[in-house]
Chains A and B, each alone.
Chain A
């Protein structure tokens, strides 16, 4: 009997097969906003190096409605990115003490705690409060 296997092409349909794939793609997509924000900061450093006039223009640009909208969206994606990755840390970094594994919530929780402390420290040093 001859074999004649059929290969089914799926294309991009897999993204909509289950909500988990949409969540995954959202997480991956979030890096574009984080990358874009980082490039903006590099551009800001360049403006700073070019002198007071360039730096003031950059600060004015940051206050523009388009920039504010971008920052709000980028912040939301960055928070989602961090939240989803920290929730995955128990899988990547299991900790076995004696016979038992430390509960995943403790490992993810430790990451969230460090995230909160660092964020507060940075906001403090930046003069937010």
Chain B
């Protein structure tokens, strides 16, 4: 396995002493199979223990290590050094306030996630003794891709609408609402519509499609948002033109 010395340019921000962030360069001897996260770990262990960033699983499952690598939202554990030439610039995820170095403030996303009720709201509660809520493979496939979301927030960093209009509920949260709306066992769509069919919901989306392009789990949030728009439009027509069809 070959080694290569890579220049990492990392955004640093110390909330206790800095007025604004600055870039700091580190020379790191990287192995062929290293990802950006390996390089950051090497910096922290051998060069600069003050460098702060989030990570946990190192296998694209936990969604903690989202950051901008050369201006593109990436999971640091999935961004192979060998795919980059020259200086690699590492910054915290765009559109989120910087807590410290590469650590962002994610409170906004967590609050939005809670608002869209991303959990099963059964049509009819039944006692455990009556057995499971059953589902066919076709019904499962209808929403399965959306269950792959790991809440890494790369889609928020890619979304220009979220950057410009922070009140936008955004790709991941709306996709998760859609995931449950599409679930044959669920009866909570009307409750979720109040959040996701509002101005702050899908109607802030202008279908840039960047969310789907950057998703490390190949979820298609842009598709979810357009489908919610269509359903919401049909709801409106039903309500105003054919009210007798409303259940």
Contacts and interface: CB of A to CB of B under 8 A. Distances in A.
Contact of B213 (A6, A10, A20): A20
A17 B105 CA distance: 22
Contact of B220 (A2, A6, A18, A91): A91
Contacts of A18: 71-72, 210
A10 B20 contact: no
Contacts of B2: none
B40 to A, nearest CB: 19
B98 A5 contact: yes
Contacts of A93: 230
Interface in A82-129: 88, 91-94, 96, 98-101
Interface string B229-246: 110000000000000000
Contacts of B226: 88, 91-92
Interface stretch (B51-59, B118-126, B137-145): B137-145
A64 interface: no
B141 A99 contact: yes
Interface residues of A, number: 27
Given A4-B16, A6-B21, A91 B212 contact: yes
B129 to A, nearest CB: 31
A98 B141 CA distance: 10
A3 to B, nearest CB: 6
B37 interface: no
Interface string A12-30: 0011011011001000100
B99 A14 contact: no
Contacts of B137: 99
A8 interface: yes
Contact of B223 (A7, A15, A17, A91): A91
A2 B16 contact: yes
Most interface-central of B20, B213, B226, B230 (chain A CB within 10 A):
B226
Interface in B195-246: 206-210, 212-213, 220, 222-223, 226-227, 229-230
B207 A88 contact: yes
Contact of A8 (B98, B99, B209, B230): B98
A6 B16 CA distance: 11
B209 A88 contact: yes
A18 B105 CA distance: 24
A7 B97 CA distance: 5
Contact of A99 (B138, B220, B223): B138
B208 A24 contact: yes
A3 B138 contact: no
A80 to B, nearest CB: 15
A4 B160 contact: no
Given A6-B13, A96-B138, A98-B138, A21 B210 contact: yes
Contacts of B16: 1-2, 4
A37 B138 CA distance: 46
Given A5-B98, A6-B98, A21 B208 contact: yes
B141 A5 contact: no
B98 A92 contact: no
Nearest to A7: B97
Interface of B: 13, 15-16, 18, 20-21, 71-72, 94-95, 97-99, 105, 137-138, 141-142, 160, 163, 206-210, 212-213, 220, 222-223, 226-227, 229-230
Q: Closest 5 A-B residue pairs measured CB to CB?
A: A5-B97, A92-B226, A91-B223, A4-B15, A99-B138
